[in-house]
């Protein structure tokens, strides 16, 4: 990309990189580092034609977190219910909802002036305070 003087890097961070979640301190710290690296590279590579952004997903059910979110009968676990209760959209994310942000950031036409940004896709989870 640098040799071609154009391109788009899209890093995958996490909303827990902005708001540390309990019980996953190392994960939250690593994702905060991804956000910081994204901003650093965006600044360094902007004049070379490469845009660098990040997407920070909220809670999207997947194999690694399914047991944390759902009981075997499909109902929410206690933790899953807490997350839904803290999410203004009152649901978990769907894979296609990450795809939209990714396509937009990758588009040279639609996002050509977007670099150094962290796009949070979390149903409003990170906007809620006590």
What digits encode the pLDDT tens for the residues 77-99? 999 999 999 999 999 999 999 99
Q: Is the pLDDT of residue 122 over 90?
A: yes
What per-residue confidence (pLDDT) applies to 24? 87
Is 76 labeled as catalytic in the residue annotation?
no
State the catalytic residue, choosing from 27, 60, 76, 104: 27
- The pLDDT tens digits for 12-30 are 999 999 998 878 899 999 9
Q: Is the pLDDT of residue 130 over 80?
A: no
Q: Is the pLDDT of residue 4 over 90?
A: no
**DSSP string of 46-107?**
GGGTEEEEEEEE-----TTTHHHHB-TTSPBPHHHHHHHHH-TT-S---HHHHHHHHHHHH-
What are the extents of the domains in the chain? 7-127
Mean pLDDT in residue range 1-13:
92
Mean pLDDT in residue range 99-122:
97
Residue 119: pLDDT band with limits 50, 70, 90: very high
Mean pLDDT in residue range 40-51:
98
* pLDDT averaged over every residue in the chain: 95
Q: Is the pTM of this model over 0.95?
A: no
What per-residue confidence (pLDDT) applies to 3? 86
CATH 1.10.10.10 fits 7-127, yes or no: no
Phi, psi of 21 (to 5 degrees): -90, 150
């Amino acid at each position: 990309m640098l040799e071609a003087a154009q391109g788009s890097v899209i890093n995958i961070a996490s909303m827990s990189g902005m708001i540390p979640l309990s019980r996953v301190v190392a994960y939250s710290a690593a994702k905060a580092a991804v956000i910081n690296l994204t901003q650093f590279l965006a600044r360094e590579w902007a004049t070379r034609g490469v845009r660098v952004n990040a997407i920070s997903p909220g809670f999207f059910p997947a194999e690694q977190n399914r047991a944390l979110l759902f009981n075997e009968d499909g109902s929410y676990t206690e933790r899953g219910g807490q997350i839904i209760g803290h999410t203004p959209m009152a649901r978990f994310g769907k894979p296609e909802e990450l795809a939209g942000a990714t396509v937009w950031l990758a588009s040279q036409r639609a996002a050509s002036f977007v670099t150094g940004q962290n796009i949070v896709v979390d149903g409003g989870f990170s906007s809620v305070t006590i």
